[in-house]
A and B are shown apart, each in its own frame.
Chain A
Amino acid sequence: MEFIYYFGEVFTPISMLLLIGGTIGGLILGATPGLSPTMAVALLIPFTFHLSAVHGLILLGAAYTSTVAGGAVSAILLKIPGAPANIATTLDGHAMALKGEGAKALQLSFISSLFGGVFGVFLLIFLTPVLAEWALAFGPSHLFWLAILGVTVIGSLESNSVVKGLLSGCIGMWLATIGFDDMLGVKRFVFHSSLGGGVNIIPALIGLFAIPQVITMFANGRFDQDFERIEVQKHPIGDAFREVFKRMRALSIGTITGSIIGLIPGVGGQIAGLVSYDQAKKFSPEKAKFGTGHSEGVIAAEAANNAMVGPSLVPLLTLSIPGSPTAAVLLGGLLIHGIFPGVDLFENHPEVAWPFINSMLIGQILMCIFGIYIASFAARVAQVPKSVMAATVLGLALFGSYAVQQSMGDVYVMAVLGTMMFFLERFGFSAAPLVLGLILGPIAESNFVQGSMIANAQNGPMSYFFSGTLNIVLIAVVVVSIGYSAWSELSARKVAQ
């Protein structure tokens, strides 16, 4: 119950201001199609540089929570999911809006997001310290395999092609080795002066997530999607609460499924929403109503994608394995403040860890309140022309990546990596495993080097890295995740043929 002791920090004026600002900003960004939650959080990181670690994380946590929920606004009112996590919401949410129940759909989505989100954060509160304590038993070889596991799980599960996902992870890990070697101070792969200090994580994150979206908007040309926005009629909030409680089965299915999926690294909110929707439909006596504007569809999907947020941080805060691409960006936010996940976080920085987690709990309530009241406004903002959005994101990327170290080299790295990622995405590669490789690469390398030294003093690297229960379990999980993804890919191909 240590977390209760740190609630005070969340209610300081600066924390509340950041929480409210992050929530409102996140809701608007989330509602804007084309701006993914991951990109929104990546663009926010430079602003956290000037804040204390706890305040920076509160801002990022609020943005993460509310961008996922905000995506429901455009999913319901515009039939365009603000984020992949909201795909399932469009199925019944937009149909409800067409029937004149737009306000009701929005209220249901935010209320079920609140319940799902709070459950998810409680899971985070109670599971994280236990797992972090367990992580104390980890030596360099285990930490090395954990870093490899993080990259391979995201690489194989997040990508459409296992080989390309793993290749992206390798590229990320290679990029992480650029610069001076920590042990001997030797220059490695420094083929341009901008790379002297290595690839800084923040400009890289901004480039990898923001620039491909800017170029994609350019590639669409002088074109703006003609939104058919539905006006929102008033609906009593009490009725919406009653409806959610009446649909307890859908709410429970969404919450539990989302939480479990969130705990699995690399699976993400998109799957959480779709799986929960499917399960809610299977267990509902009103199956036929799904897809026609049935409230259970909205409740299950939205409860799931917000229930996923808290648990997706469990492997991140305990084992450094992010559960989703946005969690990977949050890991970058932790590392720039010199905070390393694991037991160190809870033993040496409880004043950072607990207020951050507590703020996510308060953030869920704020998200629900603001979400209900500014949804209509957010939908209006979401229609900002693509040309304005592209130019704004480009400007923010330039200023944001420069602000980190006040270095033009970082700006060049951001632009080159971003352009490279745009082309890689066109050929089936994805940014998430590359980012994971970049973030987890240094952790993997330092533990690999330490492990090699220990191994040389003992029975050699084979016995050190490939024996022992924990090593074997971790290697097995790496192999199973790759094997399962390859099998799924082959099965999907057979079905398509």
Chain B
Amino acid sequence: MNYLQHRISSGIIAVVAIWVCWISFTQKPAEAFLFPRVIAVFFLILAVWTFAKAILGRSRVGNGLSRTAARNMAPGVAIAGIYIFWAAKAMGFYTSSTIAFFILLSLYDPSPNSEPKTWIKRVLITIGFVAIMYALFAGVLKVYTPRGLFI
């Protein structure tokens, strides 16, 4: 049980609850915030309760995030973040998906990187994935995705 992580996470939730409560009780017109006020009160009580339990070291559920897990997920989350928040719009959905898919596959595929067969397999899987997505979304569902620099 990682108590520090529990304190930080429940602390953040408590801050959000205070902010929601503050906005709900200070914004006008009051009629528009009638329901948010009810929710905010319960949100605040439960968040403070959770935070108090974390501070007292009584959080019993959830093991937090181990250092190894954080190290493992960091590159994947970074690539996914760049893909979703920048590349998809700037480069186009299909180009960015091809690049992101290939990088993620190469990062997390346990097959040996030294073998050319591994790379051929990754390229083929990536092409297959993008072809299916294109057929499904552009062909069948007719979704007009951002084109960006490419497609």
Which one of B32, B61, B100, B141 contacts A181 once the chains associate, using CB atoms below 8 Å? B32
Residue A386 is within 8 A (CB to CB) of chain B in the complex: yes
Residues of B near A402 (CB, < 8 A) are 93, 143, 145
Q: Which residues of B are found within 8 Å of A170, using beta-carbon distances? A: 39, 42-43, 46
**C-alpha gap A184/B34 in the complex (Å):** 12
- A279 an interface residue at 8 Å Cβ cutoff? no
Bound complex: CA A472 to CA B39 (Å): 20
Interface string of A380-402 (1 = CB under 8 A from B): 00000111101110111011001
> Are B60 and A161 interface neighbours, CB within 8 A?
yes
Tell me the complex Cα distance, A173–B61, Å: 22
* A173 near B39: Cβ-Cβ < 8 Å: yes
Separation of A445 and B23 alpha carbons in the complex (Å): 17
Tell me whether A218 is interfacial, beta carbon within 8 Å.
Answer: yes
Cβ–Cβ < 8 Å partners of B107 in chain A: 222, 387
With A214-B80, A221-B108, A445-B35 in contact, do A429 and B46 touch (Cβ < 8 Å)?
no
Q: Quick check: B39 and A164 within 8 Å, CB to CB?
A: no
Comparing A250-258, A306-314, A407-415, the segment that makes contact with chain B is A407-415
Q: Give complex CA distance A113, B69 in Å.
A: 37
Select which of A391, A415, A428 is within 8 A of B129 by beta carbon: A391
Most chain A CB neighbours (cut-off 10 Å) among B73, B93, B136: B73
Can you name the residue of chain B whose Cβ is closest to the Cβ of A448? Answer: B35
CA–CA, A171 to B109, complex, Å?
36
Contact with A along B20-61 (1 / 0, CB 8 A): 100100010101111110111011001101100100000111
| Contact call A395/B97, Cβ cutoff below 8 A | yes
A419 to chain B, nearest CB (A): 7
Given contacts A221-B72, A387-B104, A403-B143, contact A427 B5 (CB under 8 A): yes
Set A163, A218, A385: member contacting B72, Cβ < 8 A: A218
Contact residue among A385, A412, A428 (Cβ-Cβ distance under 8 Å from B85): A412
Q: Is A50 an interface residue (CB 8 A)?
A: yes
Interface residue? B125 (CB, 8 A) = yes
A224 to B75, CA, bound (A): 18
Contacts of B91-138 to chain A: CB distance below 8 A: 93, 97, 100-101, 104-105, 107-110, 125, 129, 133, 136-137
Q: What is the CA–CA distance of A423 and B97 in the complex, to the nearest angstrom? A: 25
Bound-state Cα–Cα, A452 to B43, Å: 21
- How many residues on the B side are at the interface (Cβ–Cβ under 8 A)? 68
Q: Within the complex, what minimum Cβ distance (angstroms) separates B118 from chain A?
A: 11
What total of A-B pairs shows CB separation below 8 Å?
180
Q: Are B50 and A163 in contact (CB under 8 A)?
A: yes
Q: Are A188 and B36 interface neighbours, CB within 8 A?
A: yes
> Total interface residues on A, using CB and 8 Å?
64
CA distance A396 to B47 in the complex (A): 33
Contact B20 A183 (CB under 8 A): no
| Inter-subunit contact B65/A218 (CB<8 Å) | no
A219 x B73 contact (CB < 8 A): yes
Contact with A399, one of B29, B50, B93 (Cβ below 8 angstroms) = B93
> Known contacts being A170-B39, A395-B101, A403-B143, is A448 close to B85, with CB within 8 Å?
no
Instruction: Decide if A470 is an interface residue (CB 8 Å cutoff).
Output: no
Instruction: Give, as a whole number of angstroms, the nearest-CB distance from A402 to chain B.
Output: 6
Contacting residues, chain B, for A159 (C-beta < 8 A): 61
**A390 partner residues in chain B, CB cutoff 8 A:** 76, 104, 108
- Chain A residues with Cβ under 8 A from B39's Cβ? 170, 173-174, 177, 441
Tell me whether A223 is interfacial, beta carbon within 8 Å. Answer: yes
Complex partner residue of A428 from B20, B29, B40, B61, CB under 8 angstroms? B61
Q: Mark A160-199, 1 if CB is under 8 A from B, else 0.
A: 1101101100110110010001011010110000000000
Within the assembled complex, what's the spacing in Å between the Cα atoms of A75 and B27? Answer: 53
Is A366 at the interface (CB under 8 A from chain B)? no
Residues of A within 8 A of B142 (CB): 50
Bound Cα distance A254, B34 (Å)? 46
Known pairs A170-B43, A402-B93; A395 contacts B143 (CB<8 A): no
Measured CA separation A166–B73 after assembly (Å) = 29
What are the residues of chain A within 8 A of B42 when measuring CB–CB?
166, 170
A427 touches B62 (CB 8 A): yes
B145 A448 Cβ-Cβ under 8 A: no
Known: A160-B61, A183-B31. A177 touches B13 (CB 8 A): no
CB within 8 Å of B: which A287-308 residues: none
User: Can you sample 26 A-B contacts with CB below 8 Å?
Assistant: A164-B61, A164-B62, A167-B46, A174-B20, A174-B36, A215-B73, A218-B76, A218-B108, A219-B72, A387-B105, A391-B100, A395-B129, A398-B84, A398-B97, A399-B137, A408-B146, A411-B88, A415-B85, A426-B5, A426-B9, A426-B64, A427-B5, A427-B10, A428-B62, A441-B39, A444-B35
Chain B residues with a Cβ under 8 A of chain A: 5-6, 9-10, 13, 20, 23, 27, 29, 31-36, 38-40, 42-43, 46-47, 49-50, 53, 59-65, 68-70, 72-73, 75-77, 80-81, 83-85, 88-89, 93, 97, 100-101, 104-105, 107-110, 125, 129, 133, 136-137, 141-146
